[in-house]
Amino acid sequence: MGQDTARAIELYRAGRRDEALALAEQALREAPGDSGALNLAGAILHGMGRLDEARERLERLVALDPLFMQARVNLAVVLQAKGARTEAAAHFRMVAVLKPEVPELQERLGSLLHVLGDYGGAARHLRHAVRLVPGDPDRRVMLAVSLISNGDHAEAAEILTGVLALHPGHADARSHLAAVRLSLGRPDLTEVMLSDAVSPDGAALAGEDADLLARARLYRRIAGDAGRPQMPDGLLVRAPFSVLSGYGDFAQHFVRSLMECGQSLRLVGLTGEESWRPSFADPILQAAVRRLGEPLRPRLALSVLTPPLVEPVPGVPTVNYTMFEGPRISPSFAACSRRHDLVIVPTDSSRLAWIAAGHPEDRIRVCPPGIAPNPADAGALPLPIAGPRGRGVMDYRVRVLNISDFVARKNLDGLLRVWLRATRAGDDAILILKVGKGGSALVGEMRRLVEQCMRATGRRLEEAAPIALLTDRYDEQAIAALYAMATHYFSLSHGEGWDLPITRAGCLGAGLIAPRHSAYTAYLNDEVAHLIPCTTGPALMPYSTDHYPAFHGLDWWHPDEDAAADILSRVIRDPEGERRDAARHLMDNFTWDAAARRLLDALDAVGGRVGGGARG
């Protein structure tokens, strides 16, 4: 180490960062391979937010000295800050292998793998950290959280029980254990643990712990009702009724249709007692609505949730209506689903995804939901908004809509690439892209994604037909107005459990363009929609080697962008000649009445005949 480098390190330790960097850079001009100067410069540049320069210095150092472990750690930190998390994990992994005795490295790698969705890998390294420091309760809780995320609830419960035996006041351990016990169908243990607990300031339980305790007591009451012959028979339904989501929408429709079939129901929400109620004009059904909160003897507990959110009621068969967007479900979905008496999915694509993960074929059924016009769409008027070039959106002949959350599975990067490639500035067409549920952060994220897509295609926005990018929060009336604007709906998603937006647009007569995969093949065909061929491959984040966390280690579908661009350009050139109408096909073949009856048929296989209503 040269004198300049030694002096630079002293300045850095003294807090004189700028002087230290200047001296380190001077040392590198004289000796480009000075490892101490490269490492110090990389660390200082990272602290200054100059990540690209920090990465260059540290990658040069690691190439010169592959066994310089601190340099690898620093490089991993820089890569993680830049969003290159898979590359960062590779460097952390190498250091953890060469220095297995350092618990902080095992913990750091485990935590990063957890963020990446590799819960099995995370648990391995966090378990190692726990072995190195067995008395650290926080590391044990971190290990339990990764096990929970991977579906290993029983082992997580054992670890958390051990933490609380030695540290009774550990609030995180208590909360996680309470939730795990509900997932394992033991509300009695959750109630015992939480009923006498207080927060650190002496107040009663609040927030999630209060919800957990309320659900534990509710499930115990319901379990007691199941053994009372004087109670009316019926069906318990738990779902996110009051949450704006696909699961909530399905649950609301199923409840209405089941009640119209004469079923007695009791509703439970995501956090506890449910206040949402359907509305009916029929006075008999109005009376039934008033009884939704009353006790009954449940033959079944039907959840409409992702598998990890299901909480069994003791003594009551557990059925879950759920779905998945890829060719094979994740290990956590598989582990949770094995604890359920029956899984019901909307399409054969989801059924095959469960079977591919080893789920027993005799414990899964297919029940497509209904497809019906949204009440908000009746009489909805287009929004009076202008495109990016000042022309009113409704003045364009072809108005292509996509409504998506800002998640990698929706393949917005692919959709943008296809639009840039398939359209020209003079086309009489506009893309109406509604992204997310509102938030200023989306503007910057979308801007970066658009820039990446322009670089990938070699085409600027100005060279393509315009894009009206909408990121604000819209109420239901404004969303209906967006659908009223569309002549076409275009999805390039990597996979769908159902896709409510495209079916809603289809009911309104919009022309549909979608990939030939997953749920789309259940309700679309070549006569009513333009379908894009697909292949399968790794589920990666846009322009990254990182896996999409929810699909870590899994594949999804990759729509053929050449074929999609060809379809889109034909539609824009000749919208009438390329017109395909899915409205009648969707509404005639997927009624909610038929969906409710299929659901009841599937439930009959588990708990005998449900309720006492007429089935027809």
Summarize pLDDT for 348-388 with one digit per residue, the tens: 999 999 999 999 999 999 999 999 999 999 989 999 999 99
Positions of the chain with pLDDT lower than 70, given as ranges? 1, 198-204, 438, 607-616
pLDDT at 394: 97
Q: Where are the domains of the chain?
A: 3-195, 231-366, 377-590
pTM of the predicted model, to two decimals?
A: 0.91
- What is the radius of gyration, based on Cα positions, of the chain? 28
pLDDT at 245: 86
Nearest C-alpha neighbor of 327 from the set 501, 496, 459? 496
Return the H-helix or E-strand segment holding 434. strand 429-435
Give the separation between CA 508 and CA 452, rounded to whole angstroms.
34
What fold characterizes domain 377-590? Rossmann fold (3.40.50)
The order of strands in the sheet holding 318-321 is: 265-268, 233-238, 297-304, 318-321, 342-345, 364-366
Q: Does residue 554 sit in helix, strand or coil?
A: coil
Give the separation between CA 467 and CA 156, rounded to whole angstroms.
48
Q: Please answer whether residues 484 and 377 qualify as being in contact, where contact means their C-beta atoms are separated by less than 8 angstroms.
A: yes
Measured between alpha carbons, how far apart are the two ends of the chain, in Å? 88
Return the H-helix or E-strand segment holding 567. helix 561-573
Superfamily of domain 3-195 in the CATH hierarchy: Tetratricopeptide repeat domain (1.25.40.10)
pLDDT tens column, 16-47: 899 999 998 998 898 999 999 999 999 999 99
pLDDT at 614: 32
CATH number of 231-366: 3.40.50
Same fold, 231-366 and 377-590: yes
Q: What one-character-per-residue DSSP string does 448-494 give? A: HHHHHHHHHHT--GGGS--EEEE-S---HHHHHHHHHH-SEEE---S
Q: Which residues contact 511 (CB under 8 A, 6 or more apart)?
A: 487, 488, 489, 529, 530, 571, 575, 578, 579, 580, 581
